[in-house]
Amino acid sequence: MASNAFAGLLNSSADRHSLFDDAQGIVAGSMLAVLGVTLLSGAGLLAGGTAGMAFLAHYATGFSFGLCFFVVNLPFYYLAFRRLGLAFTIKTFAAIALTSVLSEFVSGFITIAHVDPIAGALFGGLVIGAGMLALFRHRASLGGIGILALYLQDRFGWRAGFVQLGFDGIILALSFFVATPFIIACSVLGAIVLNLTIAINHRKDRYIAM
């Protein structure tokens, strides 16, 4: 009986992930996200969405990015549950918690002496995008504004893309209080690389596993 239960944790199919598949996907995606955040942070860059909010709070208050990232995502779990269900919410909470915890300790294991802002934008955006792809393909996310945008689209008919663009615009405007125009321009470049990575590689008709 125990062996059958264990086998059930490992068995997957063409259209469904096993529990083990989901676990390694969430761990891998979170590790990639933390590596990308480390590159952005090393270059003094920001990001969009709740990661951008966390960077703003981090630079403005001195609190760690991991703590800020975990806290700013708290209001979005209810929306995630209402919009995308319990399983998605639990996996998203696990991804955010793991990303936050790893962010606290990664500096003790990885030390980067210098990151050029343009290189940080290109490599950081790409690596975070790859991490988010891993999470999306296991029906998880790093939370935040995207969930709120989907909720407002369903509730009021506001187009999700414009809602997310509006929030990112507000975050970008606030960034002028903590960063130079050059750093903000590089941060925009990183956001473009990140979103292009997701847009080109994440399509439901190409990846059907749940």
Where are the chain's structural domains?
30-201
Residue-level pLDDT at 14 = 56
CA dihedral 48, 54, 58, 63 (to 10 degrees): -170
- Vertex 92 angle, CA 13 and 162, to 5°: 105
Q: Tens of pLDDT along 27-65?
A: 999 999 999 989 998 998 888 788 888 888 888 888 888
Give the residue among 101, 121, 118, 117 at the shortest CA–CA distance from 109: 101
Residues pairing with 123 in the sheet: none
Q: pLDDT confidence of 25, banded at 50, 70, 90? A: very high
Instruction: Kindly report the backbone phi and psi dihedral angles of residue 108, in degrees, each rounded to the nearest multiple of 5, phi listed first.
Output: -80, -15
What pLDDT does residue 119 have?
A: 96
CB 100 within 8 A of CB 66: yes
pLDDT averaged over the chain?
82
If phi > 0 it is left, if psi is from -120 to 50 it is alpha, else beta; for residue 127 that is alpha
Q: What is the mean pLDDT of residues 67-86?
A: 86
Distant-in-sequence, close-in-space partners of 25: CB < 8 Å, separation ≥ 6: 17, 134, 135, 137, 138, 140
pLDDT of amino acid 167? 81
- Which of the given ranges, 22-26, 135-139, 176-180, has the highest pLDDT on average? 22-26
pLDDT digits (tens, 9 = 90+) for 83-135: 788 988 999 899 999 999 998 888 788 888 889 999 999 999 999 989 988 88
185-208 average pLDDT score: 78
